[in-house]
Structure 1
Amino acid sequence: MTVRSTEAPATEAVLPTTDWTAVAEEIDAYGCARTPRILDPAECRAIAALWDEPEQFRSTVDMARHRFGSGTYRYFADPLPPMIQALRAAFYPRLLPIARDWAERLNRPAPWPDELDDWLAICHRAGQSKSSQILLRYGPGDWNALHRDVFGEAVFPLQVAIGLDRPRTDYTGGEFLLVEQRPRAQSRGTATLLEQGHALIFTTRDRPVRSSRGWSASPVRHGVSAIRSGERHTLGLVFHDAS
């Protein structure tokens, strides 16, 4: 099954209904925030079904082979399927104000233009020209080690994971994990169950947190707990391309 281009505008229209002020506040508090449902079950199944269309992907990664955990993920090839492209383009302008605010707090450059295509052009000039959009599949016993999706110097500080299956029905376990190293303190963990069709926005590399000296960059990594039963598919949207 191929995601049709006629499906893309409907998904893009859903995002403005999200309370983005509340999303920004939750990300500030926890490093991640959930959205309302943005994909219906049929759209989720259609995206998951792309796994069986190898021409849609540029590479496949066996996580156990590379000691990334256990399971498999695939990087979409360019051009992206219309639904994936629409989702990425719709999220970028909503996340951009948060990214710029974080850069200001940390006294860092904010190199992200208003348009996603302009930002991707910057990535390409930096040698990052490969698609970074990911479809992940986990089976019983699979898991994802804590990591960061950073592929070079050009980095967007937020990314998105969208659940494509029904937790507690299609699979058990498989919580999304976020671990943050707080300044001069022990690490703090957050576990989130990804509901089907809902998105989780989370920190890519680090984020600003208050400290006794003002704002400090708190390093963050993410992963997935072990799948206990069933099969879990996730769509990953990354807003910088890969090298």
Structure 2
Amino acid sequence: MTTTEQRATADVYARRVAAADWEAVTEEVDAYGCALLPQLLTPRQCAELAGMHEDTERFRSTVDMRRHRFGSGEYRYFGHPLPEVVQRLRDELYPRLLPIARDWYRRLGRDAEWPDTLDEWLRICHDAGQVRPTPILLRYETGDWNALHRDIFGEKVFPLQVVINLNAPGEDHTGGEFLLVEQRPRAQSRGTATLIPQGHGLVFTTRDRPVMSRRGWSASPVRHGVSAIRSGRRHTLGLVFHDAA
């Protein structure tokens, strides 16, 4: 691919990410811990990414979720080099999520160490021994599900991530809603369920979010998962913005 073609490809993803109403996304993530994004991938790109699941050479490891009692299904961590579409989306989404992350940590009195670009941040991760890529491709068959969990792979953590549904709900699968459960201070837990349209992204918190209490801002722990697939097959692309130890 020529430099001109690479720039044109990057511009496509920049326009798609910019199409989100980021003020509204910020408000919704603040309120619920997650927010839908516009279509980031075309149906053809979704099919191409889902098809990569069978190309084992692209991945550094595979996890059988049932074996590890994470639920039921399978996910694979991409190895280097990442597919171009994965790299471009990470590059474009990171600076959009960065103001939210910095504001959250400011409220919580934490040190927001993330620099302005993803490349700089990943170098910090690598210097800390977190060198393994974290983008993942997940596949769920009928009856599969993902247990509630948090994605933390080391001391260097970015507090937001994005998941993209590569299949069409109601056509390729039923069920498979994205679940978010927030453990609120001195209150019952609150659950949120989102059915993600094909090619659309959902931004959500990695481990917690700031909530106001009588004592000021505090961190409310949040876990995420996927409800049971009632029929069909569901593939998703997970974009984590820190590398793993």
Question: For the superposition of Structure 1 and Structure 2, which TM-score range results when normalised by the shorter chain?
Answer: over 0.9
Match of 1:17 among 9, 16, 19: 19
Q: State the 1:46 CA deviation.
A: 1.1
Q: Which residue in the other structure is 1:27 paired with?
A: 29
Contact 1:56 1:76 in 2 (8 A): yes
The CA deviation string for residues 156-201 of structure 1, in whole angstroms up to 9 with x for no partner, is 0000000100001100111100000001111100000011010000
Whole-Å Cα distance in 2 between the matches of residues 50 and 83 of structure 1? 12
Match of 1:160 among 151, 162, 186: 162
Contact 1:9 1:86 in 2 (8 A): no
The CA deviation string for residues 67-95 of structure 1, in whole angstroms up to 9 with x for no partner, is 00000000000110100000000000000
Whole-Å Cα distance in 2 between the matches of residues 51 and 11 of structure 1? 22
Divergent runs of 4+, >3 A: 4-9
Contact 2:157 2:242 in 1 (8 A): yes
Q: Which residue in the other structure is 2:135 paired with?
A: 133
Whole-Å Cα distance in 1 between the matches of residues 174 and 153 of structure 2? 31
Contact 1:8 1:82 in 2 (8 A): no
Whole-Å Cα distance in 2 between the matches of residues 8 and 167 of structure 1? 28
Match of 2:68 among 57, 66, 69: 66
Q: Which residue in the other structure is 2:217 paired with?
A: 215
Whole-Å Cα distance in 2 between the matches of residues 151 and 142 of structure 1? 24
Q: Which amino acid aligns with 2:223?
A: R
Q: Which residue in the other structure is 1:192 paired with?
A: 194
Q: TM-score, normalised by structure 2?
A: 0.96
Whole-Å Cα distance in 1 between the matches of residues 150 and 141 of structure 2? 22
Q: Which residue in the other structure is 1:176 paired with?
A: 178
Unaligned runs of 5+ residues in structure 1 are none
Q: State the 1:51 CA deviation.
A: 0.8
Q: Which amino acid aligns with 1:221?
A: R
Q: State the 1:218 CA deviation.
A: 0.2
Q: How many aligned positions are there?
A: 240
The CA deviation string for residues 5-57 of structure 1, in whole angstroms up to 9 with x for no partner, is 67554223211121101000000110000011121111111111111211111
Secondary structure, aligned partner of 1:196: coil
Q: Which residue in the other structure is 2:52 paired with?
A: 50
Q: Which amino acid aligns with 1:119?
A: W
RMSD of the alignment, in Å?
1.2
Q: TM-score, normalised by structure 1?
A: 0.96
Q: Which residue in the other structure is 1:121 paired with?
A: 123
